[in-house]
Amino acid sequence: MSEILRQHLKKFVALDDGDFSSVLKYFRILHFKKKENLLTEGEVCRSNFFVARGCLRMFFIDEQGIEKTTQFALEHWWLADYFSFQKQQKSHFNIQAVENSEVWALNFHAQEQLLSDFPQMERYFRLVHQTAHAASQVRLRYVYDLSKEELYRYFSNNFPEFIQRVPQYLLASYLNMTPEYLSELRAKITS
């Protein structure tokens, strides 16, 4: 499963095989079962997680006790609560495995050491965060601009694999609608 990380790194920076083997040593390989938490609200987000296989989600629990999913991460994606991670302070989010998942975890101090030993990795993470920042600008636009139905159509047209793969009640939570509303919407669209 290190191949998926190597491919992702190679998209952004030049690392030879020797360097790549050394970079791998900063990571820990972790396996999570479906519905297992990687981070629980109130804990410090100690690691930055790269998804090698499976799917993660980030969510918070609102005052009514309802879980609201704000982000998913499939293969090649990084996920952490970045305020909690960079300040090493308590998180207000949870991160959970949506499927049985293999995750490459980079502990905060290991990441700092990696960046110090391999400064070219600053470029890699700069581009990862710049891309995530860009994606958040687009996402915010859709949240402002699209009705819930339009938002669902946008995701089905642009990310069909994602729509197929994620359980419907989590997709509903991510689209900020009830599972019943999503079910009606799907029936309406396919009829």
Question: What is the Cα–Cα distance from 116 to 134, expressed in whole angstroms?
Answer: 26
Rule CB under 8 A: say whether 137 interacts with a second copy.
Answer: yes
Rule CB under 8 A: say whether 81 interacts with a second copy.
Answer: yes
Out of 18, 42, 65, 119, the residue judged to bind a second copy by CB under 8 A: 119
Out of 118, 125, 155, 162, the residue judged to bind a second copy by CB under 8 A: 125
Rule CB under 8 A: say whether 37 interacts with a second copy.
Answer: no
**Smallest separation, CB 116 to a second copy (Å):** 10
Residues 6+ apart with CB under 8 A from 23: 9, 15, 114, 118, 121
Question: What is the Cα–Cα distance from 188 to 153, expressed in whole angstroms?
Answer: 12
**Residues 53-92 as b or e (16 or more Cβ within 10 Å = b):** ebbbbbbeeeeeeeeebebbbbeebbbbbeebbeeeeebe
Residues 93-112 contacting a second copy, CB under 8 A: 93
Residues 145-174 contacting a second copy, CB under 8 A: 145
Out of 37, 70, 113, 178, the residue judged to bind a second copy by CB under 8 A: 70
User: What's 76's DSSP letter?
Assistant: T
Stretch of 85-93, 96-104, 156-164, 177-185 lying at the interface with a second copy (CB under 8 A): 85-93
**Smallest separation, CB 156 to a second copy (Å):** 20
Out of 14, 144, 158, 187, the residue judged to bind a second copy by CB under 8 A: 144
Residues 6+ apart with CB under 8 A from 153: 189
Of residues 138 and 187, the one with the C-beta less far from a second copy: 138
Question: What is the Cα–Cα distance from 166 to 155, expressed in whole angstroms?
Answer: 12
Question: What is the Cα–Cα distance from 113 to 106, expressed in whole angstroms?
Answer: 10
Rule CB under 8 A: say whether 1 interacts with a second copy.
Answer: no
With CA atoms as reference, report the closest residue to 105 among 162, 29, 167: 29
**Residues at the site binding a second copy, with contacts judged by CB under 8 A:** 58, 60, 62, 68, 70-71, 81-83, 85-86, 92-93, 115, 119-120, 122-123, 125-127, 129-141, 143-145, 176
